[in-house]
Amino acid sequence: MSGKYVTETIGTDAHEITRAARILRDGGLVAVPTETVYGLAARADNDEAVSRIYGAKGRPDFNPLIVHVASLELARKLADFSDVAEKLAAEHWPGPLTLVLPRRRDAGLAEAVTAGLETVAIRMPSHAVMRALLEESGLPIAAPSANRSGFISPTSTAHVLASLDGRIDAVIDGGMCEQGLESTIAAVRTDGSVVVLRPGPILLAASAADGKNIEAPGQLASHYAPGKPVRLMASEVAPDEFLIGFGDLAGDCSLSEKGDLTEAASRLYACLHNGALSAKPRIAVAEIPEVGVGIAINDRLRRAATPPD
């Protein structure tokens, strides 16, 4: 970080995006908003830059990264697209869908991006700021969530700085993230089948992963953790618990008072951050329906409630 000890917060106008792109081209780290969560961006074609992501996050080296691209043309230079993959990209890009595909041998990506796998995870985001940064930099950008590994994902600049201030060069303040949950990750197999490795905002007619192998981010059993015990499917609250409510069950923080799952997804991490900062030593979470985006919400909550090894 060239001697910096405080992470710079910058804006979203064209001049600031140019500055952020310059930082990336020089091998630096920039936290940037996407439609899902804030990502910690580095150029994906540079070994030293990618290694800085792992260092800043404290991320295990067996956990691969998602590569973000501005165009399908660039994506095709990084991975082999089958007819099924082309169809999924046409239907859902730009947007919160990550495709895990066979990596091209001439992709030119840093080795750590794929964590030694023969596949690469690729996404074309829709957020205007991230797209502007991708286009200005002209680079494929590796960008996991902009937080310390295993902790709650960030949906605001305050969340980013809570764990990464002084560890990265800059954060672009783009306000709150709209979706609030990380992208759906789907692997397209050589036989044309599709397997969902991580549920998210995009709902696909596909089988679920067996969880035996780490093929993509967000598959660790313990993840998105607030640093204190989390109790799920709560119908009442104990005096020492911070309650995250939903629907008719009011709480210290409500995911959605009207029981709207889309709103609940967008507020999930903000409520978990509030619970983590609370003086109460435990967190309780109301029951969330296991339908639609509720599947992804419950996936994150189960991982948040699983103690680390």
Q: Please write the tens of the pLDDT for every residue from 43-93.
A: 999 999 999 999 999 988 888 999 999 999 999 999 999 999 999 999 999
Q: In what order do the strands lie in the sheet with 230-234?
A: 230-234, 282-286, 241-245, 253-254
The helix/strand/coil state of 187 is strand
pLDDT, tens digit, for every residue of 253-290? 999 999 999 999 999 999 999 999 999 999 999 999 99
Q: What is the largest CA-CA distance in the chain?
A: 58
Q: What is the mean pLDDT of the chain?
A: 94
The helix/strand/coil state of 249 is strand
> Which amino acid appears at position 198 of this protein?
R
> Which amino acid appears at position 165 of this protein?
D
> Which amino acid appears at position 219 of this protein?
Q
CB of 107 closer than 8 Å to CB of 83: no
DSSP string, 3-70: T--SPEEE--SHHHHHHHHHHHHTT--EEE--SSS-EEEEETT-HHHHHHHHHHHT--TTS--EEE-S
Beta-bridge mates of residue 142: 42, 67
- pLDDT of 1 above 50: no
In angstroms, rounded to a whole number, what is the distance separating the alpha carbons of residues 266 and 115? 30
280: Cβ–Cβ under 8 A, 6 or more apart, which residues? Answer: 240, 241, 242, 252
* The pLDDT of residue 224: 87
Q: Rounded to whole angstroms, what are the CA distances from 189 to 82, 89, 218?
A: 9, 15, 19
pTM over 0.85: yes
